Amino acid sequence: MTHEINFDGLVGPTHNYAALAVGNLASAAHGMTVSNPKEAALQGLAKMKFMMDLGVKQGVLPPHERPFVPALRNLGFSGNDAEIVERAQQDAPLLLRACSSASAMWAANSAVVSPSSDTADGKVHFTAANMATQLHRAIEAEFTSRVLQRFFADQGYFAHHEPLYCNMQLSDEGAANHMRLAASHGESGIEIFVYGKKALAPGVLPAKFPARQTFEASDAIARLHQLSPARTFFIQQSPAAIDAGAFHNDVVAVSNENVLLYHASAYVQDISKYFPGMHLIKVSEEQVPLADAIRSYLFNSQLVTLRDGGMVLICPSECEEIASTREYLKTVPTSTSPIHSCHFIDVRQSMKNGGGPACLRLRVVLNDEQMGALHQRALLTPPVYDQLVRWVHAHYRDKLHPDELGDPKLLEETRAALDDLSNILQLGSIYDFQKR
């Protein structure tokens, strides 16, 4: 039997609104306002529990160490750790904000994962994303790889690749620009890589915001994962969609098994002819204007299959508040649609920073044998969920402004939290500060 597991990133204790992500309209709109890390983490956990209660297998990924003092040392700051964060706040607050971002919560950017049914060697392949275009994301790759290798350690089942060289020509933003279509999760599928530009060839580019994913990065990952060229597609995202605020493909499209739900403005080319036998649902500009799709994160909903084979769409609550998306979603569950129902969840703390339900999760398809080789504490269970809720209440602040990131007490609080989390998830000394 084959299972799709949604691995959600736990929201870290330094969740803040520093407006670091160029091209992310929600992040820019809420920049330098007060966040609520405790509420953000609890909302993320509540989403995970909701999925688990639906019968969807749910995993959890730990937050990264933030503020990340090794990065600040690399940038020229010296002294003990507390002195470093204080000096960074005083001398280079923008660098401190980048090194304190909780952006690893958006696990859709963490890696590209190819299931064993798609790869030539029959292993599950992982490549952690380098996220080269954004400093606050580029510092995530090494720890992401470390966690994935800890969770998926058995080399008989899992193959791990180093992140691509961190440069603009090989910029890779992970599963947020990767989709898969198949008759079912366990069958050999079609892998779709969506890129914003060809870095080494001329082409049409967005005029306002950067195209973060390059064709060259996607092409390299397809080779590394030993994918069949006949079942691998490369599609260019529309520059107009990027300029409108769709900085990743998962802001304008979502797929699951044989279903692809996408906005008519998502791609340069007409994709309707590419995937015969698949159920493509194109949403027109008249049904949902692109601006509303981006504001509501309609396409950043999670589309999942339940045990009875029916599909459900897990939407951010903002989709209920915007007229076009609310009315469109009323039309989705029909007698002929594979999508049987829509649910709405509150992840507003994440949404204010530009990440919806699908941003928070990395999808991994495993068969029973591979499930047996998985680090079992990576899976969410009711007891683990209860432990994590208590952990959040014990360690998280309910207010945080970006100007407070240089507080040495925050550094102490986050390290105490991550120490406890390492025990809950049985990770050992996985963080840099634990190894000194």
pLDDT in tens, 391-427: 999 999 999 999 999 999 999 999 999 999 999 999 9
* 182's tokens: 């198949």
Q: What share of the chain in percent tops pLDDT 90?
A: 95
Q: Region 312-330: what's the mean pLDDT?
A: 97
For the question of residue 315 being annotated catalytic, the response is: no
Give dist(CA 260, CA 303) in Å, integer.
9
Instruction: Give the Cα separation of 318 and 316 in Å (integer).
Output: 5
Give the C-alpha separation, 348 to 39, whole Å: 9
Other beta carbons within 10 Å of 141: 23
Q: Which of 173, 191, 257, 318 is catalytic?
A: 173
Catalytic residue among 136, 248, 263, 395: 248
pLDDT confidence of residue 202: 85
> Can you read off the two tokens belonging to residue 74?
């690399």
Helix (H) or strand (E) holding 216: helix 215-224
Tokens of 170: 């090989």
Could you tell me the domains of the chain?
2-435 (3.75.10.20)
Torsion of CA 204, 207, 213, 215, to 10 degrees: 10
Residue 385 has pLDDT above 80, yes or no: yes
Q: Once rounded to an integer, what is the mean pLDDT over residues 352-375?
A: 97
Give the separation between CA 21 and CA 31, rounded to whole angstroms: 10
Q: 431: which residues sit within 8 A by CB, 6+ positions away?
A: 65, 415, 418, 422
255 Cα distance to chain centroid: 14
Which pairing describes strands 190-195 and 178-181: parallel, antiparallel, or unpaired? Answer: antiparallel
In the predicted model, what is the mean pLDDT of the chain? Answer: 97
Q: Using CA atoms, how far apart are residues 2 and 72, in angstroms rounded to an integer?
A: 43
- Looking at residues 60-72, what average pLDDT do you find? 98
pLDDT of 436 > 80? The answer is: no
DSSP assignment, residue 35?
A: B
Contact 294, 244 (CB under 8 A): yes
Q: Is pLDDT at 335 greater than 80 in this prediction? A: no
Q: Is the pLDDT of residue 337 over 90?
A: no
| Burial class, 62, CB count within 10 angstroms (exposed 0-12 / middle 13-18 / buried 19+) | buried
Is the pLDDT score of 336 beyond 90?
no
279 is catalytic: no
Annotated active-site residue 248? The verdict is yes
Segment 165-189 shows an average pLDDT of 97
Q: What is the mean pLDDT of residues 119-138?
A: 97
Distance set, CA 279 to CA 56, 250, 257, 275, 308 (Å): 22, 18, 9, 8, 19
> What DSSP designation does 274 have?
T
Please enumerate in sequence order all residues whose Cβ is within 8 A of that of 28, keeping only pairs 6 or more positions apart, or say none: 19, 21
